[in-house]
Structure 1
Amino acid sequence: AVFHLQHVITAAGGKIFATSGKRADFQTTRKTCKKAGGSIATPRNASENDAILHFVKRFGTYAYLGIRESLIPTKFQFLDGTPLSYTRWHSREPAGRGEEECVEMYTDGTWNDRKCYKNHLIVCQF
């Protein structure tokens, strides 16, 4: 299956985000983005967060981000293991305490920790 990136947006700073409008769980999203030559959308500043939010709002659904809980519950990190240099947690989040390892973006641009099996909008970065 070819991943058709019909919707593309460039954030300030030049990182490109794209979506097919399709939904998948966290692992499938990672694989899909990798196959397309990119990686799962990972906001490292407000501009990049806004670029992803554009798709989330447009499709009216949440998206997984390239952030996971570390071995220390409630401590999240980028998928490459580096600590988060930018966060946009919803109030009182993250609250999963080791039970919710993935991170989703709400339609207001804030983040919530969530289990990884939900079907969310596939957003990749290049």
Structure 2
Amino acid sequence: MMLPPQLFHKILGVTFFLLPLCAQGTPAGFLSYIYKYLTGGETNERFIPTSIPVADGEMGDINHQLERRISRLEGVLRLEKMITESGGKIFAISGERADFNTTLQKCKEAGGSIAAPRNQGENDAIRYFVKTFNTYAYLGVKESLIPGKFQFLDGTNLSYTNWHLNEPSGKGEEGCVEMYTDGTWNDKRCNQNRLVICQF
């Protein structure tokens, strides 16, 4: 079954929150419940299917049902302050804190990447978390080989910045970037624990 890209990203966002539950030994019954909720079908609690059987001509109906059900789950996650959305991207937290490299790994394992705002709307979506939880978060921005010059993790130049007054100031000593609770950025050493925020 081929899902539209937007729906696929929404499913990834929901899945991001299922991973910590799996790691904590949450019974398969919970995951079966999520599957049943998404598909509206019956399922064996000890078996989580890897695909949804689709008869010819039912694709549009199944996509519509999945979109509706995912929209409801998104509502719950928003209510729990666990996801935000901007420009087609979903930003999500698991409530964990970690250093920069661990944050990168956790986001990659969840099928996303560390949050990297490319415009004011995305910056505001990330800021929602740091303000709500009153803590800082790393961004997907690092210092390049030139001290004081920063870029996105894929090596592209920053097309948008929101540096705090007189930042960046590390002069080669602070290679990572964190977001303050007011949404502004600060260069920082990469070994501090910050709120894990991923984008999908």
TM range (shorter): over 0.9
Q: Does 1:2 align with 2:9?
A: no
Q: Quote the Cα distance in structure 2 between the aligned partners of 1:3 and 1:16.
A: 18
Q: Does 1:87 align with 2:161?
A: yes
Task: Please state how far the C-alpha of 1:18 moved relative to its aligned partner.
Answer: 0.2
Task: Pick from 73, 80, 83 the counterpart of residue 147 of structure 2.
Answer: 73
1:83-115 Cα distance to aligned partner (Å, 9 max, x none): 000000000000000000000000000000000
Question: Following TM superposition, where does structure 1 have runs of at least 4 consecutive aligned residues deviating by more than 3 angstroms?
Answer: 3-6
Segments of structure 2 that go 5 or more residues without pairing to the other structure are 1-17, 22-76
Percent sequence identity over aligned pairs: 67
Task: Please state how far the C-alpha of 1:3 moved relative to its aligned partner.
Answer: 3.6
Q: Does 1:118 align with 2:184?
A: no
Q: Which residue of 2 aligns with 1:62?
A: 136
Per residue, is there more helix in 1 or in 2?
A: 2
Q: Which residue of 1 aligns with 2:31?
A: none
- TM-score normalised by L of structure 1: 0.95
Per residue, is there more strand in 1 or in 2?
A: 1
Please give the secondary structure, in 1, of the residue aligned with 2:162: coil
1:27-68 Cα distance to aligned partner (Å, 9 max, x none): 000000000000000000000000000000111100000000
Amino acid at match of 2:19: V
Q: Quote the Cα distance in structure 1 between the aligned partners of 2:181 and 2:96.
A: 16
Larger Rg: 2
The one of the two structures with greater contact order (alpha-carbon pairs below 8 A, sep at least 6) is 1
